Amino acid sequence: MAQPPATQDRVNDFVIKLANVNGTGSASANTMLMKSIFRMGVPVMGKNYFPSNIQGLPTWYEIRVTKDAYVARSGRVDLMVAMNAETYQKDVREVSPGGFLIYDSTWPRAAVLARDDITILGAPLAKICNENFVGVRNRILMKNVVYLGLLAALLEIDVEVIRQLLTESYSKKPALVEANMKAVQLGYDYAKQHLPCPLPLRVQRMDKTRGSVMIDGNTAAGLGAVYAGATVGPWYPITPSTSLMDAFKSFCSKLRVDPETGASRYAVIQAEDELAAIGMVLGANWNGARAFTATSGPGISLMSEFIGLAYYAEVPAVIVDVQRVGPSTGMPTRTQQCDILMCAYASHGDTKHVLLFPSNPEECFYMMVQAFDLAERLQTPVFVMSDLDIGMNDWMCPELKWDDAYRPDRGKVLTKEEIEALPKFHRYLDKDDDGIPARTLPGVSPKGAYFTRGSGHNQYGGYTEDSAEYQVVMERLLRKFKRARTLVPAPVIEATGTSDIGLVAIGSSRGAVTEARDILAKRGIPIDYMRIKAFPFTKEVEAFMASHTKIFVVEQNRDAQLKSLLTLETDVPKSKLYSILHYGGLPMTSKEIVEAVAAELGDERRAQVAAAT
Amino acid sequence: MSFINKPKVRHPDLPQNQLGLTRRDYEGAMSTLCAGCGHDSVTSSITQAIWELNLRPEQLAKLSGIGCSSKTTAYFASGAHGFNSVHGRMPSIAAGANAANKDLHYIGVSGDGDSLSIGFGQFAHAIRRNVNMLYICENNGVYGLTKGQFSASADIGTRSKKGEENRQAPVDPCLAALSLGGSFIARSFSGDREQLVPLIKAGLMHKGFAMIDVISPCVTFNDHVGSTKSYEFTREHYHEAVHTDYIPARTEITASYGAGEVLPVQMHDGSQLRLRKLDKDYDPNHRGKAFEYLRTRLRQGEHVTGLIFLSPGHDPDMHEMLHTTDVPLNQVPYEQLHPGAAGLASILKRYA
């Protein structure tokens, strides 16, 4: 084995990538690896790159150990755990110079796959499993746990932390804890005897994860729906949103059971398709329950007709779009921010919708609650624009908090007494001049009855084909949308106070942008950052655009959809905006933002960056 | 949909129901359908049925899709909320509304285009889900609002107004509902109020999905010679297999029937149905036989009407399958829906 170039110590600052075959149980071992580092107080980022397949195709898991708590990919791979013979060639190539690769040396490795600028470490994992475990399936599963032990020794991960995690995972099956610990120990002992432990890449206890949780966005959003008081969840299964309704149902099955009767205080209904799912959401919201659905781009396409009805008939609805790669079926297990324009203007005719952009699981939780309040206050559909990266990966984020003083904002829903005190109820009459009429619920009073319809209607709720009457309602809907600008969350602006260069981003790009700004600042290029949290754009968005001369718009789609929306819906001149686009389907890296900014800023600045690199 | 408000003129001697309401109190806006449209007769039967049932108008929710039939919901019970949704999607609105509040009575009015073409999927799944509602399909075999195209229920050999012959097999909503597990399946004719009114009452009181296919001729586009859904053809090929009488709870039963001809059925609210079998060989409690009977008669060109099938057992409705609480979900206090800050801290332990 060629000796590797001298590698610097990389304590708590390196990237592990694990190449596996899907369906072999690697995901749980990899999650445990990440969680054990987190439990040692060291910030981590984990990304799962999995195929749209049940078993047998390549899958990768990337773990970034990051003492500075950067939550994005760095673009490096310092340690590759190459467990998939099929992708071995690609995996070897991907290791950053000076890095390490671990492979299963049970079988010989072709010499052509060697690289002399990295250290290749072999361990006979399959052989160890065959000698120590019985049964084909068990041997396959345990191989993952053996490399977990191996890594514990190489990276100095506390085996007791792993034991604790196993105990928590298998609290009801203690025998599994022992079997798994045996595998961990086998790997650990092998590494101690045969491999150069520890590697320069090491984990050292810190105290930087206290008060944080590792949670995925779909789980957090499902929990948010529980706290928002949602009771009806119609949905149709679609990757990557499925785990959201699963989480909601699972939380409800524990938290929403009548203690006396055992009956459920929620209804999760698996619909026959997305058209029915959104129809049920509208029916339930119309009838006064908080109802929502979770879907992805293809589902939004199917729901569009009903979304237009909800806009025009003014029925509240919350729709979570966990975006995946389009167009069409696209790449269902890869991430993008590609539904921005579709959701902003979903359905035929003149429609505009409220969008919220969570940037991590923490915001998924809070924005679910906000979405319901906005939907009911504004009597309109509200989209929570999550994505696969946020929804399905575990993110380190601050522990979620709840204010017990919170009460849902049900908007202008008239009580029986209020209805009966009126001379006459008119559904679409804007009495308080805020663009929002009052509504009534079925079953309350015959005096509150009205006809909900997607056909032309006047402000009294009656059918119309009269131009003037139709326009009165359409103009008022526009006023309502303007009113939404004052109710949606304002952007988060991080200004340097000195820069005339701005950078705008939404959602899961946040991690990469934050790190890129730090890198650029160190290289003498300070940039102001605006993270937009909602559409319609608030006045702060407009002000930021006006006060910067050059603005980078970072987003994860091919067609610069956010940039388009900004040019359509604000006064910013197009010439000020520079797109940084990333749409290959993997989460963004800070590196590509740094490079794109440097390139755009021209020779002088580029030299500055190069000199500092 | 278009409508004209009806002037409120009351005759002082109009009969009142137990709530002190007259039939006029259950009417809606003035119909804008064509004069003689079967759908208006259905509206009249619905109005009569809900008046007789002593339901408060606001206890009802009226739901529809798109098409001539879907306008019906505007023409009765103006004191009830109505939802005229999108084409073929009324069942999902109904399911969602019902999920939110199980205590209201839901009447969905649809048509053959709305139910059997664009909305066939939702129709089928509402039956499977056994949403507790009355679903009326006003079936005339044509698209009226778009001027006379065949619908999916057009019979083979029937001719359009322009003379074109339909060659495709029809979808029969009753056969479809039988095969999908429907628990209450009936067929009637808009012109037979005596049969239709008790069926509507029974359907509304049935706990689960009650489907009534009402042959309701289109006077403008499908009432000519050569059509199998004209008034004349329907009257000639009309076969009532079972007649239903609806007897409200706590009513003394006075009518007398011949032995073996009457099948009493107890409803969950204490009311009773008395099924008079006009065809002695017919068994409205047997799904397989009902299916065969309908198909045989259809081949002979006959419309079998009456309560075609009523499930003999207890078929759980959507809420029973979901095991939801007795308190409607839209009325569960917010405090009972989440465990507060303390609960959140304990949930999060798993993620720390």
Q: Which residue has the tokens 């690199």?
A: A613
| B104 contact residues in A (CB cutoff 8 A) | 287, 442-443
Q: Is the pLDDT of residue B9 over 80?
A: no
Q: Is the pLDDT of residue B163 over 50?
A: yes
Q: Would the CB atoms of A283 and B343 count as touching at under 8 Å?
A: no
CA nearest to A292 within chain B:
B96
The pLDDT of residue A612:
55
**B25-62 burial code (b ≥16 CB/10 A, e <16):** bbbbbebebbeebbbbbbbbbbbbbbbbbebbbbbbbb
B30 touches chain A (CB under 8 A): no
CB A37 within 8 A of CB A151: no
The pLDDT of residue B275:
81
Which range (A106-120, A263-277, B124-138, B314-328) has the least confidence? Answer: A106-120
- Count CB-CB contacts under 10 A for residue A130: 15
Distance CA A304, CA A319 (A): 11
For residue A325, list its beta bridge partners: A331
Shortest distance between the Cα of A327 and any Cα of chain B, in A, equals: 25
Q: Would the CB atoms of A284 and B96 count as touching at under 8 Å?
A: yes
Q: What pLDDT digit, counting tens, does each position of A450-473 carry? A: 999 999 999 999 999 999 999 999
Distance CA A208, CA A68 (A): 9
| A283 contact residues in B (CB cutoff 8 A) | 63, 83, 92-100
**Total residues found in chain A within this entry:** 613
The B residues from 295 to 324 touching A (CB cutoff 8 Å) are 318-319, 322-324
CB A472 within 8 A of CB A461: no
The pLDDT of residue B272:
86
A276 touches chain B (CB under 8 A): yes
Q: Would the CB atoms of B74 and A288 count as touching at under 8 Å?
A: no
Query: From the list B79, B98, B348, which residue is nearest A446 (CB)?
Result: B79
Q: What pLDDT digit, counting tens, does each position of A241-266 carry? A: 999 999 999 999 999 999 999 999 99
| B337 contact residues in A (CB cutoff 8 A) | 226, 229, 231, 256, 265
Mean pLDDT, residues A36-54 taken together: 94
Q: Is the pLDDT of residue B257 over 60?
A: no
Q: Would the CB atoms of A453 and B58 count as touching at under 8 Å?
A: no
| A463 contact residues in B (CB cutoff 8 A) | 1-3, 74
Q: What pLDDT digit, counting tens, does each position of B170-197 carry? A: 999 999 999 999 999 999 999 999 999 9
Distance CA A601, CA B240 (A): 84
Q: Would the CB atoms of B125 and A271 count as touching at under 8 Å?
A: yes
Q: Would the CB atoms of A263 and B324 count as touching at under 8 Å?
A: yes
Q: What pLDDT digit, counting tens, does each position of A539-586 carry? A: 999 999 999 999 999 999 999 999 999 999 999 999 999 999 999 999
Q: Would the CB atoms of A455 and B100 count as touching at under 8 Å?
A: no
Q: Is the pLDDT of residue B200 over 70?
A: yes
The A residues from 117 to 156 touching B (CB cutoff 8 Å) are none
Distance CA A152, CA A455 (A): 65
Distance CA A288, CA A439 (A): 10
The pLDDT of residue A1:
37
Distance CA B9, CA B5 (A): 12
Q: What pLDDT digit, counting tens, does each position of B216-238 carry? A: 999 999 999 999 999 999 999 88
The pLDDT of residue B255:
52
Distance CA B39, CA B47 (A): 12
Look up residue A387 and give its DSSP letter: E
The pLDDT of residue B199:
96
Domains and CATH numbers, chain B: 23-335 (3.40.50.970)
For testing contact with chain A, the best of B324, B348, B350 (most A CBs within 10 A): B324
For testing contact with chain A, the best of B51, B319, B321, B347 (most A CBs within 10 A): B347
Query: From the list A272, A281, A446, which residue is nearest B96 (CB)?
Result: A281
Q: Is the pLDDT of residue A602 over 90?
A: no
Query: From the list A263, A305, A453, which residue is nearest B84 (CB)?
Result: A453
Q: Would the CB atoms of B61 and A443 count as touching at under 8 Å?
A: yes
Q: What pLDDT digit, counting tens, does each position of A106-157 carry? A: 988 776 678 999 999 999 999 999 999 999 999 999 999 999 999 999 999 9
Phi-psi region of B147 (alpha: psi -120 to 50; beta: other; left: phi over 0): left
The A residues from 396 to 425 touching B (CB cutoff 8 Å) are 399-404, 407-408
Closest CA to B325 of B8, B166, B100, B71: B100
Q: Would the CB atoms of A309 and B86 count as touching at under 8 Å?
A: yes
A369 touches chain B (CB under 8 A): no
Q: Would the CB atoms of A251 and B347 count as touching at under 8 Å?
A: yes
**Residues in Cβ contact with B92 at an 8 Å cutoff, skipping those fewer than 6 apart:** A234, A271, A275, A276, A277, A278, A279, A280, A283, B122, B126
CB A401 within 8 A of CB A220: no
The pLDDT of residue A608:
61
Edge to edge, the sheet with strand A119-123 lists A44-49, A58-66, A13-21, A79-82, A100-104, A119-123
Position with higher pLDDT, B247 vs A436? A436
Of the pLDDT bands very low, low, confident and very high (cuts 50, 70, 90), residue A5 is very low
The pLDDT of residue B168:
95
| Kind of pairing between the strands at B184-189 and B209-215 | parallel
CB A263 within 8 A of CB B95: no
Q: Where do the DSSP E strands lie in A177-316?
A: 201-202, 212-216, 232-235, 267-270, 292-295
Radius of gyration (C-alpha) of chain B in whole angstroms = 21
Q: Which residue has the tokens 């405090």?
A: B335
CA nearest to B94 within chain A:
A283
Structure token pair of residue B20: 């002190």
The pLDDT of residue B276:
78
Q: Is the pLDDT of residue B281 over 90?
A: no
Q: Kindly state the helix (H) or strand (E) to which residue A251 belongs, with its residue range.
A: helix A242-255
Query: From the list A215, A265, A462, which residue is nearest B351 (CB)?
Result: A215
- Count CB-CB contacts under 10 A for residue A200: 17
How remote is the C-alpha of A390 from its chain's centroid? 1
| B61 contact residues in A (CB cutoff 8 A) | 287, 442-443
A172 touches chain B (CB under 8 A): no
Structure token pair of residue A134: 């019985």
Structure token pair of residue A418: 């209020």
Q: Is the pLDDT of residue A78 over 90?
A: yes
Q: Would the CB atoms of A279 and B98 count as touching at under 8 Å?
A: no
For testing contact with chain A, the best of B344, B346, B348, B349 (most A CBs within 10 A): B344
- Count CB-CB contacts under 10 A for residue A458: 18
Q: Would the CB atoms of A452 and B344 count as touching at under 8 Å?
A: no
Distance CA B233, CA B261 (A): 28
Query: From the list A226, A272, A463, which residue is nearest B121 (CB)?
Result: A272
B74 touches chain A (CB under 8 A): yes
φ, ψ for residue A332 (rounded to 5)? -60, -20
Q: Where are the domains of chain A?
A: 10-210, 215-398, 416-485, 492-612
- Which stretches of chain B are DSSP H helices? 38-52, 90-100, 112-116, 120-129, 173-179, 193-205, 231-236, 287-299, 318-322, 340-348
Distance CA A587, CA A390 (A): 9
Q: Would the CB atoms of B96 and A286 count as touching at under 8 Å?
A: yes
Mean pLDDT, residues A504-524 taken together: 96
3-state secondary structure of B150: strand
Distance CA B244, CA B261 (A): 12
Q: Would the CB atoms of A284 and B80 count as touching at under 8 Å?
A: no
Phi-psi region of B226 (alpha: psi -120 to 50; beta: other; left: phi over 0): left
Name the maximum alpha-carbon separation found in chain A: 91
Mean pLDDT, residues A159-163 taken together: 97
Q: What is the CATH number of domain A492-612?
A: 3.40.50.920
Contacts 24+ apart (CB under 8 A), A414-417: A414/A438, A414/A439, A414/A440, A414/A444, A414/A448, A415/A444, A416/A444, A416/A445, A416/A448
Position with higher pLDDT, A359 vs B249? A359
- In whole numbers, what is the pLDDT of chain B averaged over residues? 92
Distance CA B188, CA B214 (A): 5
B139 touches chain A (CB under 8 A): no
Phi-psi region of B88 (alpha: psi -120 to 50; beta: other; left: phi over 0): left
CATH number assigned to the domain with residue range A10-210, chosen from the 4 options 3.40.440.10, 1.20.120.160, 3.40.920.10, 3.90.79.10: 3.40.920.10
For testing contact with chain B, the best of A167, A251, A420, A453 (most B CBs within 10 A): A453
A227 touches chain B (CB under 8 A): yes
CATH number assigned to the domain with residue range A215-398, chosen from the 4 options 3.60.110.10, 3.40.50.880, 3.40.50.970, 2.70.98.10: 3.40.50.970
What would the DSSP string read from start to end of A214-238? EEEHHHHHHHHHHHHT--EEEE---
Q: Is the pLDDT of residue B288 over 80?
A: yes
The pLDDT of residue B273:
86
Mean pLDDT, residues A421-441 taken together: 97
CA nearest to B75 within chain A:
A451
Quote the percentage of chain B above a pLDDT of 70: 94
CA nearest to B337 within chain A:
A229
Of the pLDDT bands very low, low, confident and very high (cuts 50, 70, 90), residue B336 is very high
- In whole numbers, what is the pLDDT of chain A averaged over residues? 95
Distance CA B27, CA B46 (A): 9
Q: Is the pLDDT of residue A214 over 90?
A: yes
Distance CA A96, CA A7 (A): 12
Q: Would the CB atoms of A213 and B351 count as touching at under 8 Å?
A: yes
Specify which of A327-331, B143-147, B280-284 reaches the highest per-range mean pLDDT: A327-331
Q: Which residue has the tokens 């095991």?
A: B323
The pLDDT of residue A4:
45
The dihedral sign for the CA sequence A132, A133, A136, A139: negative
3-state secondary structure of A354: strand
Mean pLDDT, residues A95-99 taken together: 95
CA nearest to B72 within chain A:
A451
B348 touches chain A (CB under 8 A): yes
Q: What pLDDT digit, counting tens, does each position of A322-354 carry? A: 999 999 999 999 999 999 999 999 999 999 999
Q: Which residue has the tokens 């944080």?
A: A212
**Residues in Cβ contact with A328 at an 8 Å cutoff, skipping those fewer than 6 apart:** A298
B55 touches chain A (CB under 8 A): no
**Total residues found in chain B within this entry:** 352
Mean pLDDT, residues A23-40 taken together: 95
3-state secondary structure of B288: helix
The pLDDT of residue B302:
86
The pLDDT of residue A2:
39
Q: Evaluate whether A10-210 and A492-612 have a shared fold.
A: no
The pLDDT of residue B151:
94
- Count CB-CB contacts under 10 A for residue A131: 10
- Which stretches of A393-550 are DSSP H helices? 416-421, 467-485, 510-522, 539-546
Shortest distance between the Cα of A582 and any Cα of chain B, in A, equals: 30
